[in-house]
Amino acid sequence: MALGALIGAYQEDDAGGLRALLPLAGRTLIEYQARCLAAAGAAPLIVLVERVPTALNDAFERLRGEGIVVVPVSDGNEAASRFEAGSQLVLLADGIAPDMGDLTTLLEEDAAILTVPDDEAHADYERIDSAHRWAGLARVDSNMLGATAAMLGDWDLQSTLLRRAVQAGARLVPSTTGDGRGPFLARDEHSMADYERRLLVASRTAREDMVSRYLLPIVEEVATEKLMETGVRPAWLVQAALMMMVAAAFCFTRGWHWAAVALLILSTPLDLVAQRLATLRLKPLSPNMPSRRLLWPAAGLALAALGWFEARHGSGWGAMLAALGACAFAEAGRVERAGRSVPGAEWHFGRRIAIWLALPFAIGGWWSLYLGLIAVYAATSFFIAQHLRHAVERD
């Protein structure tokens, strides 16, 4: 059965503007709400708004550019006409930034209302009864929306629809709270800045190697914060990282080792930042994304290019053998660790570790030594991962 969504966008914030237009993560609250609902599979997305100011229309255009179609309506009857008879819809209150976990929970129910406790922390949320307030999410039937709109008069559509859902026996489901979870009610730009920080923290992913864990967090945090306010797409960052690594391989073949190292180091945080931007925009990067999958082979290409140059300029065949051996053991180790939890995995050989290890050797010009060390490191990581895997299988 089709699942639509009705979003309120008519209430004003403390400064007199629409709550829906409060800034969030470089865009507006209404765009974040629409992305949440689209990510949950809701369509169509109907926005109930008395008038459409230029800024709101611009937000709708940006959403359409992302493939998310929103339709503004000015009253309940028009809203009801946009949904198929008997279809289910998600009701999202004006000014509410939903929790994606809550939204997933709601979609598992037939007719439900998400609630928060009736306490001081939630005093601005709409009261349902003496113990519950509305968390801003509800699942109702489109027939109920049509009947409510027909008898509405001057009453508020969302509040009236909420009351009718309660009277019809909709299940009250507690919202998840604590640890940065739960709904957020927008009031002003200051409160939105706090919520934006909460989203930034929530977008952090597990850092799988010691470089991303100990050297890159500050760079990743600052870059994510700055880029989320721009139109930069996460895929562009991954593609940029890939192009930089291929360019580094070319530089190695020409003997421009410092330029190659600089390009490689600059590439290391880009896919991490891209992943966080994609999470913030509720469009996670696919693990099968071609440019993302090619980062590992591109790193191997750069290493092979270094080995080829060193083999031709004094180091002999051993340099090329070390480079190719490192590539082979690195790939074998990656396969051994794929989908498995390996103790101390952050210290195992990886693309970012290999790149940053090159820096001290570049300073001393000890490239042959670097290639030998990388080969030993990759081989050791592989044998440890293999030993740990078979130990687990035996147990």
Measure the CA dihedral 270/271/275/277, to 10°. 20
With cut-offs at 50, 70 and 90, classify the pLDDT of residue 85. confident
Do 261 and 359 form a contact (C-beta atoms < 8 A)? yes
With cut-offs at 50, 70 and 90, classify the pLDDT of residue 287. confident
How many other CB atoms are there within 10 angstroms of residue 277's CB atom? 25
Q: In terms of pLDDT, which residue wins out, 202 or 221? A: 221
208-394: same fold as 3-190?
no
Question: What pairs with residue 45 in β-bridges?
Answer: 5, 70
Cα dihedral 259, 264, 268, 274 sign: positive
Residue 395 has pLDDT above 60, yes or no: no
With cut-offs at 50, 70 and 90, classify the pLDDT of residue 378. very high
Residue 177's pLDDT is 76
d(CA 111, CA 171): 6
Q: Integer distance in angstroms from the first to the last C-alpha of the chain?
A: 47
Residue 124 has pLDDT above 80, yes or no: yes
Do 114 and 50 form a contact (C-beta atoms < 8 A)? no
pLDDT, tens digit, for every residue of 234-279?
999 999 999 999 999 999 999 999 999 999 999 999 999 999 999 8
AA identity, residue 292: R
Q: 308: which 2 tokens?
A: 């080829």
pLDDT, tens digit, for every residue of 340-365?
777 778 889 999 999 999 999 999 99
Residue 73 has pLDDT above 70, yes or no: yes
Residue 285 has pLDDT above 60, yes or no: yes
Residue 282's pLDDT is 84
Residue 1 has pLDDT above 60, yes or no: no
Longest dimension (CA), the chain: 88
Q: Cα-atom radius of gyration of the chain, to the nearest Å?
A: 27
Classify residue 43 by burial, with Cβ atoms within 10 Å: 0-12, 13-18, 19+: middle
Do 348 and 384 form a contact (C-beta atoms < 8 A)? yes
For range 298-303, the mean pLDDT? 97
373's CB contacts (< 8 A; 6+ apart) are: 357, 361
The pTM (predicted TM-score) of the whole model is 0.84
- Spell out the domain ranges in the chain: 3-190, 208-394
CATH of 208-394, one of 2.60.40.1120, 1.20.120.1760, 1.10.10.60, 1.10.3720.10: 1.20.120.1760
For range 155-168, the mean pLDDT? 88
Residue 135 phi/psi, 5-degree rounding, is: -80, 0
Do 307 and 354 form a contact (C-beta atoms < 8 A)? no
Residue 157's pLDDT is 87
Residue 6 host element (H or E): strand 3-8
Do 38 and 105 form a contact (C-beta atoms < 8 A)? no
pLDDT, tens digit, for every residue of 19-70?
999 998 888 999 999 999 999 999 899 999 988 999 999 999 999 998 999 9
d(CA 339, CA 331): 14
Residue 153's pLDDT is 60
Q: What is the mean pLDDT of the chain?
A: 90
Class of domain 3-190: alpha beta
AA identity, residue 274: A
